Amino acid sequence: MADSNLNALQTEVNQDGTKRTLSNRHVQMMAIGGTIGTGLFLGAGSTISQTGPSIMLLYALLGLVFFFMMRAIGEMLYSQPDQHTFVGFITKYLGFGSGIFAGLTYWLALIFACMAELAAIATYVKFWFPSWNSAVIQLVFIAVLALLNVLAAKAFGETEFWFAMIKIIAIAALIVTGIFMVLTGFKSPSGTSASFSNVFHNFQMFPHGVHAFIGSIPLVFFSLAGMEFIGITIGETKSPRKVLKKAVNEIVYRILLFYIGALFVIMSITPWTSIVPNNSPFVQVFKLAGLPAAAAIINFVVLTSAASSLNSSIFSSGRHLYQIATELQGSAKPLTKIAKNGIPIRTILTTAVLLIIGPIISSFPAVTNAFQFVSGAASDLFLVVYTLTLFAHRQYRKSADFIESGFKMPFYSISSPLTIGAFVLVFLSLFTNSNDLIPALGAVAWIVVFGGICYFVFHKRTLGQSADPFLEP
């Protein structure tokens, strides 16, 4: 009893009633979980078949871009760790209209991302239970994960900790198995020997042309998207400045180990030209290693990965809706209520209710394409929010909030414009891929229409206003 009382006393409470219950252990694993997505487990086969070994260069370059973006977000959060979301800085440094546009855009993008993960989860569950109803499966996952998010931030943290742990174990097992196969001179049924030299044998930068290389950029980008989720946990994390530095700085190492390391091992065991685009290379490697249940095991890992993404997106979207409600006040004020356990329950439940649209959509096959269009366009809008965040960071550098001795973005004068330019190039690459063209056009329409509405409705609000009314200036 004494220990529980001591823990209660040690729990730091923010001015708005939210509590800092997430530990360094939670945030570190959430950072890893946010970095690893289904793009690695399922999408790697497609990207490898398009670009060959040069896919590792793409991951390295975009990993560096995300690192600089996270350092920009980290620098602002370090100066103001009470912020609930990094999008709040857009309001503060670019204006109220820009903040509302970015906040609602990011929130809606998360909602659609949740729906996409729900659809994936139903598919993975039906691998074992094909007769089960997809809508019912999705409703169960919504209820369970929403409940975990409502109970306490710590409950969310524990769930995400173990979700991330499963993904890490799967990747570590692949890397260790692959290295063992190389060192023991494993030969595939086709007679190919596992060797690190397979990776660069007859290397070509663009084996299927420059167009295929550029076309793979969106796939790599979306594999890494979600890394910024750790910035959303800082408002409810113990010792936020200390945890923030460690989590952000280690992102590059995670990219190198989990993505590039895994891809290098896969191409060492199996020449990249023999990798099937529509199948998980993880399954192929484990089957070669003599594990007949590889498909079922990887299906479990991918199911866990999708559930992890859904869990993080519910957490993030709930906090973003709370942030928007605090900015709008008025009729949105009821959403700003914080429960006794320090959780913005109303915004989480609002998000969960909206997610029910996902199972409804999945029940009508005729609207599947429309859903994919909206989901794809929403995903593309992450690029817009990321870019606005970089511009907000540039304004932060000119403001009185700037801390010279803080957690600064390295090589700012060069890295900031290069990061913005990289996001613009990624967005332009969407127009070279037929699968991404319509969502990209939808994103442009959203920017012009909704962005214009936000500007004309809210442009009179002044710059420099805190994104959170509870935040001390």
C-alpha span between 303 and 309 (Å, rounded): 10
- Please tell me which of 155-164, 220-229, 402-411 the model is most confident about, judged by mean pLDDT: 402-411
Q: For residues 340 and 342, what is the distance between their CA atoms, to the nearest angstrom?
A: 5
Give the contacts of 364 (CB within 8 A, at least 6 positions apart).
none
pTM of the predicted model as reported, rounded to 2 decimal places: 0.81
Please give the pLDDT value at position 1. 42
Distance in angstroms (rounded) separating the CA atoms of residues 152 and 297: 31
Answer for the pair 288, 269: CB distance below 8 angstroms, yes or no.
Answer: yes
Q: What one-character DSSP code corresponds to residue 272?
A: G
Side-chain half-sphere of 97: how many Cα atoms within 13 Å?
14
Tokens of 102: 């970015």
- Residues with Cβ within 8 Å of 318's Cβ and at least 6 positions away in sequence, in order, are 149, 344, 347, 348, 350, 351
Q: Is the pLDDT of residue 69 over 90?
A: yes
Say what the pLDDT of residue 132 is.
92
Amino acid at 301: V
The domain locations on the chain are: 17-458
pLDDT of 204 higher than 80: yes
State the Cα–Cα distance between residues 262 and 173, nearest whole angstrom.
10
- The DSSP call for residue 331 is G
Which of 409, 87, 398, 71 is closest to 235 using CA atoms?
Answer: 87
As a whole number of angstroms, the distance between CA 103 and CA 87 comes to: 6
270-315 confidence digits (pLDDT tens): 888 888 776 778 887 887 777 778 778 888 888 888 888 888 788 7
Position 183 pLDDT exceeds 70: yes
Give the CATH superfamily of 17-458: Amino acid/polyamine transporter I (1.20.1740.10)
Return the pLDDT at 369: 47
Model confidence band, residue 263 (pLDDT cutoffs 50, 70, 90):
very high
Closest CA to 261 of 46, 51, 40: 40
Residue with tokens 């020997």: 193
Q: With bands split at pLDDT 50, 70 and 90, how would you rate the model's confidence at 411?
A: very high
Three-state DSSP at 12 gives: strand
- Structure confidence at residue 459 (pLDDT): 64
Whether 6 shows a pLDDT value over 60: the answer reads no
R_g over Cα of the chain: 22
Q: How many other CB atoms sit within 10 Å of the CB of residue 25? A: 12
Mean of pLDDT values over 252-271? 86
Report the mean per-residue pLDDT for the chain.
79
Cα 233 → chain centroid: 13
Look at residue 469 and give its three-state secondary structure. Answer: coil
Q: 402's torsion region: left (phi>0), alpha (psi -120 to 50) or beta?
A: beta
Instruction: Based on DSSP, count helices (H) and strands (E) in the chain, helices before strands.
Output: 22, 2
> Which is more confidently placed, 250 or 335?
250
pLDDT band at 154; cut points 50, 70, 90: low
195/285: higher pLDDT: 195
* Angle at the Cα of 390 from the Cα atoms of 309 and 457, rounded to 5 degrees: 90
Write the Ramachandran bin of 268: left for phi over 0, alpha for psi from -120 to 50, otherwise beta. Answer: alpha
Using CB atoms within 10 A of its CB, is residue 438 exposed (0-12), middle (13-18) or buried (19+)? middle
Q: How do residues 72-107 score in pLDDT, each as one tens digit? A: 999 998 998 877 678 889 989 998 888 889 988 888
SS3 call for 191: coil
Q: Is 112 left (phi over 0), alpha (psi -120 to 50) or beta?
A: alpha
Q: What is the pLDDT of residue 37?
A: 65
Please report, rounded to a whole number, the percentage of residues in the chain having pLDDT higher than 90. Answer: 21
Residue 431 has pLDDT above 90, yes or no: no
Q: Is the dihedral of CA 391, 86, 117, 25 positive or negative?
A: positive
Please provide the DSSP assignment of 128-143 as one string.
T-TTS-HHHHHHHHHH
Q: 331 pLDDT band (50/70/90 cuts)?
A: low
